[in-house]
Structure 1
Amino acid sequence: MPVPDELSHDDVTGRRDREERPEGAAAQHIPIAPRFATVILTSALLSYLGITALNIAGTGLGPLPMAICLLCLGAIFALQLQHSRPGADQVSPLRKRVTLSAQAVLTYFPVMAFESQWGAMAGFLAGSLLLLLSPRFAWPMYGAVGLSMLAPPAIDGRPLIDSIYLFQSTLLTGLVVYGLSRLASLVRQLHETKNELARMAVTKERLRISRNLHDLLGYSLSAITLKSELIHRLVLTQPQRAKAEVEDVLALSRQSLADVRRVSRGLREMSLQSELASVTELLEATDVKVTTEVRLDELGPEVNTVLAAVLREGITNMLRHSRATVCSIEAVQDAGRVRLVVTNDGVAPVYRDTSHDSGAGLQNLAMRLRSVSGRLTVAHGSEGTFQLTAEAPVDFVPAPRESREGTGRRPLAEESSPLPCTGPAA
């Protein structure tokens, strides 16, 4: 998910409004689609209630029976709203039994008074059974409710066709209530899932930017610090060399600024060969004896960038967490794989950086290498040496779905388990 370079005033204002909105208000806010699905469900339930009320009104009941009828209809409507709401099937079994029993009483008791005219309410009971009970019990009971509606027309002395009609309409009403209730619930779940995916995408983008900033700026800032200390020592005794080091610091600062500007679009493309020359120059300037063995041909852009980041972070790790005097760098390509090994001395055998800002450079690099089917290993050697080894296939080809994203750069390794810490923390 690329991050835009500039945000409009409306974007900033909208984001600020969302951040300042109380959690309670955010929880009460329901998107249009779920509300619309709920309105459709409620309208359908009211329509069935209206049809039943009209049928009862046509029987010529007196005021008291009509009032009782309307009260029963209102109670059934309230119970059905409870049964049709999202999450109703997650309530306790006791509560389900109580509400379903109440709805069954309100459904079958008036049948004795209104006979087949009350039959539509049996469809609500059938739908509630499907909504609240497991399929093993719900569907047989749903069928039983439909079969029970064959009796009222027969008791009323009406033709068989009326019994079949009431049986069929009861089952159909149950399916409509069940379908619309599930639809409203699924629409709400869909929007909640969409919001959760958006939050996950934002979190992953923040992690990506944090990882890239760590990998890009850790080396540059460490180099600037070391060169500044060197300048402090040389400024009085060797002003010409101090001036040259100042120019290097300015170049590093400009590069760091450019890296920060690019980081929102993904880690910039890097070259292992160029990084080898850069770190060799830096280590020699800090009086570290460097030996290199380089046997490389053409590397794929993904692998080239990842190994350059590994080398940069490995040197940053060494400068921050050791007093190295000797460093060897090996970059060898053989049999379709490339191996990068960085070894240095000056590490205490029992060293472990537990400070709050010790970083996560090794974990980041392990994640990056996994993204190109490679692996990272670290190990202590004898006499306080530390070795970092990275291996990867030369011609790694990213998956088509991930090969290009947003502004044209594939993000490197979004997820992975942390690397066991067997060496100095980065």
Structure 2
Amino acid sequence: MAELVVLTIDLALLLLLQLTYFRELGTTTRHVTLAAQILLLLAPLALGYAWAGVAGLIAGNALLVLRPPAGWATFTLTVLVTGLASGTSPGEAAVAAAATGLLVALLGRPLRPTQDPADTPDLPDVPPAVAASKVHTAVAAERMRVARDLHDLLGYSLSAIKLKSELAHRIVDDQPADAKQQLSEILSITHHALADVRSLARAYRPLSLADTSDSAKAMLAASNIDVRVELDHDPLPEPVESVLAAVLCEAVTNILRHSDASSCTIGVRQRGSAVLLDVINDGAHARPASADCNGVRNQAERVKAAGGTFSARHADGGLFHVHATIPAPSAGAHHNPPDHRAS
């Protein structure tokens, strides 16, 4: 059981370090971050676990951070060590790590430090300064998009891992069976988190509103928060459902991080050609609405891009209310029956 705890913490630290690559970092900081990830990768290898997906992520980072000779040497060494550490199928593990690494390197090129303007090729009939400005703007926009998606993906998963790890730590002596169950759920969450990272690399990540609601209910209930979920809407277009699910993930993450909630209501309703999401919780700290919070800002941008409106504000009685309205023409004539679920 202690081994599972170590592996879970190790994976969480690896993923947290991965987020730092999407900030403006100097060369030295990037090298230190890569070195820290490599050291963290050695822990599961020493315990006999070859994480081909994570190893591939780090191998791809090496190609992005280091110059070609050192980058390819680190890439090759990481792939070989991963294969050798996999006792049952070394070839498959090595191939999986190599494929993941090459994909990360290919898709991560827009996130590499930009070139000096003098090194930027001129665009036809465009002054060099204007061309360089457009390149910098495009790179900044891509960096922001990927950072936002990673925040949405991993913020929710890491909050769940932290919550369940703390619970397992509290009950491991008195309730070992329950603690083992929590650790099993942690491993399941990390599996889904890795799958989400891979889907992000493929630039396609549909989210299920129903599945997200169920997960949110379980997480809130695990924190002794009385939760009520009510879903009453027509089948939704996939882009709309993904946006609403992402907003719900962020709202629940903020409840767990920033409130002393004892109750929460989650509702999704159809109103004509629009769908409304409301998340209301008590126990909100008396502070200004977090309009500058990255998570809130990310969700506001997503909803706005979908043609909707978004608000996150404090209400009377220590309540906090997250509301999103998005145009959503019905995806079919059939209307789903209301889904009333309460803990």
- Superposed pair shares fold, TM > 0.5: yes
Does the 8 Å CA contact 2:159/2:253 hold for their aligned counterparts?
yes
1:339 positional shift = 0.6
Residues in 2 aligned to 1:370 and 1:298: alpha-carbon distance in whole angstroms: 21
Does the 8 Å CA contact 2:313/2:322 hold for their aligned counterparts?
yes
Within the candidate set 268, 285, 294, 1:360 is matched to: 294
1:19 positional shift = 6.4
Does the 8 Å CA contact 1:212/1:267 hold for their aligned counterparts?
no
The aligned amino acid for 1:383 is G
Does the 8 Å CA contact 1:209/1:264 hold for their aligned counterparts?
no
Matches within 5 A, 1:14-413: 27=118, 187=125, 189=127, 191-266=128-203, 268-350=205-287, 359-395=293-329
Q: CA RMSD in A?
A: 3.3
2:264 is paired with a residue of what secondary structure?
strand
The aligned amino acid for 1:245 is Q
The aligned amino acid for 1:214 is H
Residues in 2 aligned to 1:396 and 1:201: alpha-carbon distance in whole angstroms: 35
Cα distance change on mapping 1:375 and 1:267 into 2, 3 Å: farther
2:244 is paired with a residue of what secondary structure?
helix
Does the 8 Å CA contact 1:340/1:389 hold for their aligned counterparts?
yes
1:346 is paired with a residue of what secondary structure?
coil
Residues in 2 aligned to 1:303 and 1:364: alpha-carbon distance in whole angstroms: 15
Cα distance change on mapping 1:195 and 1:346 into 2, 3 Å: same
Offset from partner CA, 1:17-71 (integer Å, 9 cap, x none): x9698x6xx64x696x89xxxxxxxxxxxxxxxxxxxxxxxxxxxxxxxxxxxxx
Residues in 1 aligned to 2:114 and 2:157: alpha-carbon distance in whole angstroms: 37
Residues in 2 aligned to 1:312 and 1:8: alpha-carbon distance in whole angstroms: 31
Radius of gyration: which is bigger?
A: 1
Residues in 1 aligned to 2:165 and 2:199: alpha-carbon distance in whole angstroms: 25
Alignment-derived partner of residue 119 in structure 1:
none
The aligned amino acid for 1:360 is N
2:267 is paired with a residue of what secondary structure?
strand
Gaps of 5+ in 1: 35-185, 398-426
Cα distance change on mapping 1:196 and 1:340 into 2, 3 Å: same
1:226 positional shift = 0.7
1:194 positional shift = 3.2
Cα distance change on mapping 1:276 and 1:188 into 2, 3 Å: closer
1:347 positional shift = 1.2
1:287 positional shift = 1.0
Does the 8 Å CA contact 1:292/1:330 hold for their aligned counterparts?
yes
Offset from partner CA, 1:73-125 (integer Å, 9 cap, x none): xxxxxxxxxxxxxxxxxxxxxxxxxxxxxxxxxxxxxxxxxxxxxxxxxxxxx
1:383 positional shift = 2.0
Cα distance change on mapping 1:231 and 1:308 into 2, 3 Å: same
Does the 8 Å CA contact 1:373/1:396 hold for their aligned counterparts?
no
Does the 8 Å CA contact 2:289/2:312 hold for their aligned counterparts?
no
Does the 8 Å CA contact 1:343/1:386 hold for their aligned counterparts?
yes
Residues in 2 aligned to 1:296 and 1:377: alpha-carbon distance in whole angstroms: 20
Residues in 1 aligned to 2:305 and 2:159: alpha-carbon distance in whole angstroms: 26
The aligned amino acid for 1:362 is V
Cα distance change on mapping 1:271 and 1:20 into 2, 3 Å: closer
Residues in 2 aligned to 1:307 and 1:269: alpha-carbon distance in whole angstroms: 11
Gaps of 5+ in 2: 1-56, 70-108, 332-343
The aligned amino acid for 1:288 is I
Alignment-derived partner of residue 407 in structure 1:
none
Instruction: Give TM-score, length-normalised by structure 2.
Output: 0.60
1:297 positional shift = 2.1
Instruction: Give TM-score, length-normalised by structure 1.
Output: 0.49
Residues in 2 aligned to 1:263 and 1:370: alpha-carbon distance in whole angstroms: 21
Does the 8 Å CA contact 1:378/1:386 hold for their aligned counterparts?
yes
1:8 positional shift = 11
Cα distance change on mapping 1:282 and 1:213 into 2, 3 Å: same
Residues in 1 aligned to 2:161 and 2:63: alpha-carbon distance in whole angstroms: 37
Residues in 1 aligned to 2:165 and 2:175: alpha-carbon distance in whole angstroms: 14
